[in-house]
Amino acid sequence: MLAHAARVLEPGGVLVYDTVARTALSRLVYLGAFQAIPATRIMPRHRYRAARLRPPAEVAAALATAGLTSEDVTGFHPRSVVALVRAVLARKAGRLRDEDLADVVEFVLDPDHEPPVTYLGSARRPR
């Protein structure tokens, strides 16, 4: 996918992505709570698999292989775990849509630490 994205980006073009890190906490959240536990399952089983989880250094290497230069990477997390749990339960009950989760949960960007669960990044095709 990255090779195709690099091919269609104009020189100087930017690819923006978000993904899930490979940590114990990300496995608990994405592979467990969001997919396997019936009370909190909000996505189909196997949408995420352990093999798809990538730490930032691996993503940067894959981007470089595709001819892109990794730029900004920042973790993001909910300001409150309680708010996240409430939002997931509301989503599960059909009282909240996926597109409303960010407003309800209030995610915080955290560029100064290794991402424990999810992160955003960008990469640029050289000119």
Mean pLDDT of the chain, nearest integer: 92
pLDDT of residue 70: 94
Q: Which among 3, 122, 113, 118 has a CA at the least distance from the CA of 53? A: 118
- The conformational region for residue 14 under phi > 0 = left, psi -120 to 50 = alpha, else beta, is beta
pLDDT of residue 67: 96
pLDDT in tens, 60-118: 999 999 999 999 999 988 888 888 889 988 988 999 998 898 888 888 999 988 899 99
- pTM score of the predicted model: 0.81
pLDDT of residue 98: 86
pLDDT in tens, 19-68: 999 999 999 999 999 999 998 888 898 898 998 999 999 999 999 999 99
